Amino acid sequence: MTPPGSLIGLLGGGQLARMSALAGRRMGYRFRTFDPAGEAAPAAPVCERVVRAPFDDPAALEEFARGLDVVGFEFENIPPASLRIVERFCPVHPRWQALEICQHREREKNFLHGQGFPHAAFRVVTTLAELTHAVATLGAPCVLKTAESGYDGKGQLKITPGMGLAEAWEQWSGGRPRRGVVEAWVEFDAELSVICARNGHGQTVSFPVFENVHAQHILDVSIAPARFAPEVLREAVALAEAVTEALDVRGLLAVEMFLTREGKLLVNELAPRPHNSGHLTFDACVTSQFEQHIRAVCGLPLGGVDLLRPTVMVNLLGDLWRADGSAPDWTPVLAEPDAKLHVYGKAGAKPARKMGHFCVLGKAGQPVEAVLAKAREIQERLRAK
């Protein structure tokens, strides 16, 4: 167990590291982060030190790791070899093997398939001929997704019936060799996620299921409690815990799923770190996902995850920022006594960039629909400003 007072290293200094460090500092932990953006990284102001270097710089990784008690990460696209360098100096959680699977869509799908977890049908493609074969087998519509470095719909192309595949391949690959995964189109009723924590001492704790709504492939809103039948909620948690166990994660694992029109759960994506859909836990649960991240990585007993009040989280993207780079007028959020504003302190606002979020908390026992309506109203008023 790594007790409060210890120095924790976080690879990646984005908002997930910032919120993990904020939660950990409250418990007495100290933090160092590693980020190519250096002092401009959102976590830098809440860490004692930031090491600024590319994620594959061995000398910088060694400099970062020396003197740390334990290391976690918040960013998926860190080379597993970099975790292995850090591991020579101090323990890293989750282990590099889990990261290696989750950061690569082909390995992730093969893992899910090999372990017998439910997922959308898929084919791996590296050429136009393979794409043609995959579309013939899976049918259109389907989605072509990049195997590596894809997030928030980046590197994805929906293939519709009758679409010219040669042009599609050219557009997607840019004429360069590229590995992709073609997924059958899922007619889903809803999207959901379960964030599980394991502490390496036999304890696994899952947050309540979050219901997620995406807009333009990016998470827009998360809703808790999720509005699904009790057996769906139970099945989602059991599935997520089985995946977390199979990956032998010590830390957090977010498991994103589709609930199909037939009522079946399919695993879509895995993330071995805090997850955007869990941001509402900061305001709405006994223990936040960020504190749980620190507890799990440090091998502490895990905290309780009860949802205290119905809550809706809304992402704040760079689209809301003004042309001169200034932040929007936050009055619509601030004027609502049961809303919480979180701004990540990122310098450059760009369309689709996650700049912050807000949560609206309902009264205990209030239907979450009313909370959702209030959150949507605030979102509209921010957009209109």
Binding site for ligand AMP (CB under 6 A): 120, 143, 153, 183, 185-186, 191, 214, 217, 268-269
Give the number of other CB atoms < 10 A from CB of residue 3.
Answer: 12
| Shortest distance, position 63 Cβ to ligand AMP, whole Å | 34
Residue nearest to ligand AMP (CB): 186
Q: How many residues does the chain have?
A: 385
Q: Extract the runs of DSSP E, i.e. beta strands, from 249-300.
A: 251-260, 265-271
271 touches 326 (CB < 8 A): no
- Output 108 or 291, the one with its CB closest to ligand AMP: 108
| Shortest distance, position 185 Cβ to ligand AMP, whole Å | 5
79 touches 56 (CB < 8 A): yes
| Shortest distance, position 157 Cβ to ligand AMP, whole Å | 11
Contacts of 171 (CB under 8 A, 6+ apart): 157
Tell me the C-alpha distance between 291 and 20, whole Å.
6
- Output 19 or 255, the one with its CB closest to ligand AMP: 255
**Pairing of β 156-159 and β 218-224:** unpaired
| Shortest distance, position 347 Cβ to ligand AMP, whole Å | 26
Q: What does the block give as tokens for 166?
A: 């040669």
Q: What does the block give as tokens for 198?
A: 């394991």
| Shortest distance, position 14 Cβ to ligand AMP, whole Å | 17
Contacts of 229 (CB under 8 A, 6+ apart): none
20 touches 290 (CB < 8 A): yes
- Output 168 or 378, the one with its CB closest to ligand AMP: 168
- Output 131 or 294, the one with its CB closest to ligand AMP: 131
Q: What is the DSSP string of 35-61?
A: -TTGGGSTTGGGSSEEE-S-TT-HHHH
| Shortest distance, position 186 Cβ to ligand AMP, whole Å | 4
- Output 150 or 208, the one with its CB closest to ligand AMP: 150
Contacts of 15 (CB under 8 A, 6+ apart): 42, 43, 344, 346, 354
**Pairing of β 180-184 and β 265-271:** unpaired
| Shortest distance, position 268 Cβ to ligand AMP, whole Å | 5
| Shortest distance, position 86 Cβ to ligand AMP, whole Å | 27
- Output 215 or 238, the one with its CB closest to ligand AMP: 215
- Output 187 or 380, the one with its CB closest to ligand AMP: 187
Tell me the C-alpha distance between 173 and 301, whole Å.
46
- Output 82 or 268, the one with its CB closest to ligand AMP: 268
